[in-house]
Amino acid sequence: MDQKKSLKKRRLGVVLNYIGLILLMITYEYAETTAWDTLLVSLEIIAILIILISFSFTYWKTSLWQFIHKPFKELDERELQLTGNSLRYAYAIFTTIALTIFLLYSLFERNFNIVLTVSLIYFAHILPASILAWIEKEV
């Protein structure tokens, strides 16, 4: 893995990625309840660009994405411990957030949409790598 990115830069990348993801979901939800206009379409495009650029620099170029998705048989003991802990934390965080979203959608009698579904799938995949990017000095 590329360890040249400082902890501060990785954290900034993680934050930007999540800001883009949240902006994407909120803008889509708002646009679906009101009406799509040029501003909302522009916000969606900006959110997608933020996600793509921050993913590229934070997860892809540092190889965190490849590391967290590597088969267990290819990992040594230290790497197994790192991935195991990050997956355990990610599972706890993801289930809490996903169930809260499901509860809120149910309370407000809203239907799930494709953007929410894809965003949650993406979130589930980047969360373990985000945890590693956030806490590990050297990954």
Q: Which two tokens stand for residue 83?
A: 């991935």
Q: Which residues of 67-103 are buried (b: 16+ CB within 10 A; e: fewer)?
A: bbeeeeeeeeeeeeebbeebeebbeebbeeeeeeeee
Confidence tier at 136 by pLDDT (50, 70, 90) = confident
Q: What is the pLDDT of residues 38-95, one digit of tens each?
A: 999 999 999 999 999 999 999 999 889 989 889 888 889 989 999 999 999 999 999 9
